[in-house]
Structure 1
C-alpha cells in the first residue's frame, strides 16, 4: 500500500540528507512494514512539489514514551527510476492485465 503524508521542510530536508531515518506518526493509516510512504513537503499551508518515496522497514510502539496510537516508522528511501516522478514508475504492470 502507498500512503501519502505531509511533512514540514525541517524534517523533510533531514530525511533527504540521510540525517533522519524515521518518522513519528499517529497510526491512523494502518501502517504495515513493507508499505510505501510518500513524504510530501508542506510549507506554510501549501505543498512545495518536493517529495521522497520511502519504504516502511519496521513499526515500533513505545507506550512509555509515546501517546496512545502513535508509532515510530523506520524508513528506507526508495530510488526513483530514471528520475521520473510518475505514479506509473512504481506500479507493477502485471497487476493490470486484462484492463484493455
Structure 2
C-alpha cells in the first residue's frame, strides 16, 4: 500500500467530499493499486494555491487502459478510508493502558513519544474524514 499525495481542483474535490464522485480519472504514472491511499489536497487554480482542505480516500478499484480508458491513464474507484475509526478505538485502548506507566516516569521513551504522536496524527485524520462524511 502506498500513499499518493495528489492535487485536486475545487469542483471535483467538493463532489468527492459530498460522496457523489466515487472515482478519479488520473494519469497512471504512479502504478496505482487497490488498497493505496490518495491524500487529495484541494487546489484553487484561480489563486494558484492549496486551500488547506484534504481528503483521504482508499483506492477500491483500478481500471487501467481498455474500455475507453486511454493508454497511460486509469479510472480509480475510491472510498473514504475505512480503517481510521478502528485505529482511534485501538489508540484509546492503548492510551488508557499506558497512561499510568508514562505518567509515573519523568521522561517517556522515544518510542512512547513516537507512538503518541502517530496516534494523535491518526485521530486528526479520522476526525477530518468523519467531517467529510457529514
Q: Shorter-chain TM-score category?
A: 0.7 to 0.9
Task: Provide Cα deviations, 1:13-36, integer angstroms capped at 9, x if missing partner.
Answer: 000001110000001111111010
Distance apart, 1:67 and its partner CA = 1.9
Q: CA RMSD in A?
A: 2.2
TM-fit CA distance, 1:64: 4.6
Q: CA deviation at 1:62?
A: 4.2
Bigger Rg over Cα: 2
Q: Which runs of 4+ in 1 moved over 6 A?
A: none
Higher strand share: 1
- Among 72, 78, 101, the alignment partner of 1:75 is 78
Structure 1: give runs of 5+ residues left out of the alignment: 91-100
User: Matched residue of 1:34: which SS?
Assistant: coil
Q: 5 Å matches for 1:1-100?
A: 1-44=2-45, 45-78=48-81, 88-89=121-122
In terms of fraction of residues, the more helix-rich structure is: 2
Secondary structure, counterpart of 1:67 in structure 2: strand
TM-score (norm 2): 0.58
- Structure 2's unaligned 5+ residue stretches are 89-116, 124-134
> What residue number does 2:128 align with?
none
SS in 2 for 1:30: coil
Number of aligned residue pairs: 87
